């Protein structure tokens, strides 16, 4: 079984086209397919009918994909830690050869070939493109370029701090506790079960480094989302005279909106110690930007990446507060208000 897995994984990495959504069914030698089918015939006691070879292979490939997908996440964190995207971006050679890439990062000399293996699945995942280049009659050497997704991984980019925060060892350990949380814990979320009942926010206040990493993550993400929001969704702001960014953190989103709509009064709403210094950190020259700690009273409430942090009861409470604030201002100004929710949702196939 282990041997078949190794052969499948090797063939998958060598032969799967970058645009494919599922592994091909014909890349294995027929003898190995027959072996896999026989295994299924021996162990399939629950379905009643013997599963066909292709169907069994598809099912096994799907199971393996989801079993080993964490390797892609860990490889992604590794190349960010190593500074690979930045090395490619800064190199005068484009695309960058594997040997020059290895020389540009603090890599142990014995790991040059391992770097090639690290780059292969991430190229397949769409973060890099690769080109084999012949040089002076020698063997072809892989050369790498950044894709759009790869550029998001640059230091100072929107995705780099996100990866560092949510793929660190402490966070990943919590996922290993998930089944125990379902079986034995009365805590609201697995994080609390792993931190003696303390919430993420409570732990963050006690850990300055974690707190800094979290807000850097939110700033990076808000820069990306704000650019899309003000360029692709301008109609959302039609008729809006004032807006409050609820849980707006250090004001990145509100600053971008205020700059894009000079006549729109924007307010950053968050805990007082969070919004302290917003004007000094990037919004000092924006006249239509205001900062409020602890209150909310405007014609439009913006909720970006907020509601997913709470259970249904908490979300309803937040939305009711927004509705009351918006409705109160509607009554004063005789104008309709809005609640704008920015959230990432999975694409659902309803067919």
Active site residues: 308
193 touches 187 (CB < 8 A): yes
* Cβ within 8 Å of residue 150, ≥6 positions away: 85, 88, 127, 128
Structure tokens that stand for 56 in this block: 């069994």
Instruction: Look at residue 95 and give its three-state secondary structure.
Output: coil
Element (H, E) at 260: helix 252-260
Length of the chain: 351
- CA-nearest of 121, 112, 111, 7 to 71 is 121
Instruction: Look at residue 297 and give its three-state secondary structure.
Output: coil
86 touches 62 (CB < 8 A): no
* Cis ω for the linkage preceding 95 (within 30 of 0): yes
| CA pair distance 313, 125, nearest whole angstrom | 38
| DSSP-derived secondary structure letter, 189 | S
CA 326 vs CA 9, 121, 134, 153: distances in Å: 55, 49, 65, 38
Residue 140: phi and psi, rounded to 5, are -65, 140
Structure tokens that stand for 308 in this block: 């997913």
């Amino acid at each position: 079984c282990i041997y078949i897995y190794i052969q499948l994984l090797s063939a998958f990495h060598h032969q799967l086209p970058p645009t494919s959504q599922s592994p091909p069914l014909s890349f294995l030698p027929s003898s190995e397919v027959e072996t896999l089918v026989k295994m299924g015939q021996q162990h399939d006691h629950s379905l009643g009918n013997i599963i066909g070879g292709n169907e069994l292979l598809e099912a096994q490939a799907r199971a393996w994909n989801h079993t080993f997908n964490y390797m892609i996440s860990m490889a992604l964190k590794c190349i960010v830690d190593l500074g690979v995207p930045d090395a490619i971006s800064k190199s005068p050679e484009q695309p960058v050869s594997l040997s020059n890439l290895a020389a540009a990062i603090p890599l142990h000399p014995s790991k040059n070939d391992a770097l090639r293996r690290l780059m292969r699945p991430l190229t397949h995942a769409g973060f890099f493109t690769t080109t084999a280049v012949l040089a002076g009659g020698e063997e072809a050497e892989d050369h790498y370029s950044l894709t759009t997704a790869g550029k998001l991984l640059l230091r100072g980019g929107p995705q780099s701090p996100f990866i560092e925060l949510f793929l660190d060892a402490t966070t990943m350990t919590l996922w290993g506790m998930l089944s125990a949380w379902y079986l034995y814990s009365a805590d609201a979320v697995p994080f609390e079960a792993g931190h003696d009942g303390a919430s993420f926010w409570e732990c963050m206040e006690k850990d300055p480094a974690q707190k800094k990493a979290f807000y850097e993550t939110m700033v990076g993400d808000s820069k990306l989302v704000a650019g899309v929001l003000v360029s692709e969704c301008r109609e959302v702001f039609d008729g809006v005279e004032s807006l409050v960014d609820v849980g707006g953190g250090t004001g990145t989103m509100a600053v971008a909106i205020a700059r894009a709509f000079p006549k729109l009064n924007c307010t950053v709403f968050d805990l007082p110690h969070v919004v302290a210094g917003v004007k000094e950190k990037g919004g000092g020259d924006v006249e239509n930007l205001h900062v409020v700690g602890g209150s909310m009273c405007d014609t439009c409430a913006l909720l970006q990446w907020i509601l997913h942090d709470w259970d249904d009861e908490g979300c309803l409470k937040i939305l009711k507060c927004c509705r009351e604030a918006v409705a109160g201002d509607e009554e004063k100004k005789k104008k309709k208000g809005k609640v704008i929710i920015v959230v990432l949702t999975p694409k659902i196939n309803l067919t």
